[in-house]
């Protein structure tokens, strides 16, 4: 089955998405997500200018060879732009292969290991009371796992908290917004938040929290230790992951499970963390870690060390990524949890999909392929709009991690 065309579709139905559509001589097409939040056009150009010309005429069934060709053949390996582009090709080819077989994608991976994919939602509020209300609402919706983020007394902005009662969306249109961050009030407030949640709602559901790369190792150790009584499912991204020895310090102080990896683009980013038992969950995603082919390799390594998966699933990962992730999740033996941040209705209308949510679990659906498509005519009505993630400064103006 030959690839006859491939196009890169950039659209902004509520937020920016980059989608690769591969067409074959047998009339089948497949799509893959290539969205890199705030740097979308870099991946679009990488695909359009450098990858698409190499795809035409090649056999759409040769997924592994194509992956190696794009990874090794580039010479310049890894990195978020390259790996998102490879991921898009890989996801589209898995979609095509599954459609050709007349099977849902998870069947090609080895079938279902579970009946549903436990997903965690985002409960958030501008203060403790609003966050408690949000936890209550999400429990009523059936979620078994809830990530809680709250506004912090003394700070105007905190990660994961929407502004003006709107839906939380990290990127904003125009140039990057600048926020002020201080670690001290956060470390004081976080245990109070989780104590209040456990006192009001009890212990029989999973609680998660994202520190979003903002702490030093010893601060992260303090946070995780202070949260131990509230039995978190995980604390995510306690420190940035460039210096991975930092995780040893956290481990020496606490038994709170650690999750990391949404910014990772390959197995080499997490190899040492996994092999040294420094993390409990790996958050690499289909779109940012080289597609199904590479994510499967990461999960297999992780399984040797009791590390489970917890794929990133914020709204900047398109419904195409969500669909592919759910096929991966329902198969992967060492599954932990999947992040679920529902897309805006307008985004969903551009990407019709077969996946669904019920009572805390999601399922990928049973249509051939990964079950997500793109309505190109509708997508064309929402052209790209420049948008960036925010940046953070300390109170004295020093730039720090967002």
- Indicate which residues carry an active-site annotation: 159, 212
Binding pattern for the stretch 224-243 against ligand KDG, x by CB under 6 A and - elsewhere:
------------x-------
Nearer to ligand KDG, 39 or 61 (CB): 39
The answer to whether residues 83 and 266 touch, using CB atoms and an 8 Å cutoff, is: yes
Distances in Å between the Cα of 226 and the Cα atoms of 184, 187, 325, 389 are 14, 9, 33, 29
Nearer to ligand KDG, 23 or 171 (CB): 171
* Rounded distance between C-alpha atoms, residue 21 and residue 30, angstroms: 6
* Rounded distance between C-alpha atoms, residue 29 and residue 60, angstroms: 10
- Based on the shown chain and the rule CB under 6 A, indicate whether residue 212 belongs to the binding site for ligand KDG: yes
Taking each helix axis from N to C end, the angle separating 80-101 and 291-303, rounded to the nearest 10 degrees, works out to 100
CB of 307 to ligand KDG, least distance (A): 17
The binder of ligand KDG chosen from 15, 339, 354, 379 (CB under 6 A)? 339
The binder of Mg ion chosen from 90, 210, 219, 329 (CB under 5 A)? 210
- Based on the shown chain and the rule CB under 6 A, indicate whether residue 80 belongs to the binding site for ligand KDG: no
What's the length of the chain?
402
Binding pattern for the stretch 247-266 against Mg ion, x by CB under 5 A and - elsewhere:
---------------x----
The binder of ligand KDG chosen from 389, 390, 391, 400 (CB under 6 A)? 389
- Based on the shown chain and the rule CB under 6 A, indicate whether residue 90 belongs to the binding site for ligand KDG: no
CB of 315 to ligand KDG, least distance (A): 8
Residues 305-324 that bind ligand KDG (CB under 6 A): 312, 314, 316
* Rounded distance between C-alpha atoms, residue 187 and residue 152, angstroms: 10
Nearer to Mg ion, 213 or 327 (CB): 213
Q: Which helix (H) or strand (E) holds 54?
A: helix 52-55
* Rounded distance between C-alpha atoms, residue 263 and residue 172, angstroms: 19
- 329 contact, one of Mg ion, ligand KDG, none, CB 5-8 Å limit per kind: none
Parallel, antiparallel or unpaired: strands 145-150 and 387-388: unpaired
In 181-318, where does DSSP find H-type helix? 183-201, 217-226, 246-253, 267-275, 291-303
- 269 contact, one of ligand KDG, Mg ion, none, CB 5-8 Å limit per kind: none
Residues 24-43 that bind ligand KDG (CB under 6 A): 37
* Rounded distance between C-alpha atoms, residue 173 and residue 17, angstroms: 13
Task: List beta partners, residue 125.
Answer: 150
Site residues (vs ligand KDG, CB under 6 A): 37, 170, 210, 212, 236, 262, 312, 314, 316, 339, 389
Site residues (vs Mg ion, CB under 5 A): 210, 262
């Amino acid at each position: 089955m030959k690839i006859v065309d491939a196009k890169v579709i950039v659209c902004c139905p509520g937020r920016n998405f980059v989608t690769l559509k591969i067409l074959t001589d047998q009339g089948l097409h497949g799509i893959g997500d290539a969205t890199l939040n705030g740097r979308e056009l870099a991946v679009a150009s990488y695909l359009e200018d450098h990858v698409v010309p190499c795809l035409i005429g090649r056999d759409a069934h040769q997924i592994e060879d194509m992956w190696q060709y794009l990874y090794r053949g580039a010479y310049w390996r890894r990195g978020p732009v390259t790996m998102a582009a490879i991921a898009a090709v890989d996801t589209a080819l898995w979609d095509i292969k599954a459609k050709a077989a007349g099977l849902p994608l998870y069947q090609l991976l080895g079938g279902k290991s579970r009946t549903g994919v436990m997903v965690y939602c985002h409960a958030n509020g501008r203060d403790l009371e609003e966050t408690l209300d949000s936890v209550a609402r999400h429990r009523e919706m059936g979620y078994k796992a809830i990530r809680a983020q709250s506004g912090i007394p003394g700070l105007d902005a905190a990660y994961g908290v929407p502004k003006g009662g709107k839906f939380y969306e990290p990127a904003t249109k125009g140039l990057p917004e600048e926020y002020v961050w201080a670690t001290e009030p956060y470390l004081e407030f976080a245990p109070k938040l989780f104590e209040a949640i456990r006192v009001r709602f009890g212990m029989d559901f999973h609680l998660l929290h994202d520190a979003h790369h903002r702490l030093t190792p010893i601060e992260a150790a303090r946070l995780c230790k202070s949260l131990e009584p509230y039995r978190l499912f995980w604390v995510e991204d306690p420190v940035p992951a460039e210096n991975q020895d930092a995780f040893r310090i956290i481990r020496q102080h606490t038994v709170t499970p650690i999750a990391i990896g949404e910014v990772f683009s390959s197995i080499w980013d997490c190899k040492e963390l996994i092999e040294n038992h420094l993390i409990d969950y790996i958050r690499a995603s289909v779109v940012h870690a080289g597609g199904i082919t590479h994510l499967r390799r990461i999960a297999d390594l992780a399984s040797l060390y009791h590390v489970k998966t917890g794929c990133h699933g914020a709204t900047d990962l398109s419904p195409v990524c969500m669909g592919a992730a759910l096929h991966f999740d329902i198969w992967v033996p060492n599954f932990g949890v999947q992040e679920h941040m529902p897309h805006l209705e307008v985004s969903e209308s551009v990407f019709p999909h077969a996946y669904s949510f019920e009572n805390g679990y999601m399922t990928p659906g049973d249509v051939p392929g990964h079950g997500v498509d793109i309505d190109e005519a509708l997508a064309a009505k929402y052209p790209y709009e420049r948008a960036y993630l925010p940046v953070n400064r300390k109170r004295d103006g020093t730039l720090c991690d967002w």
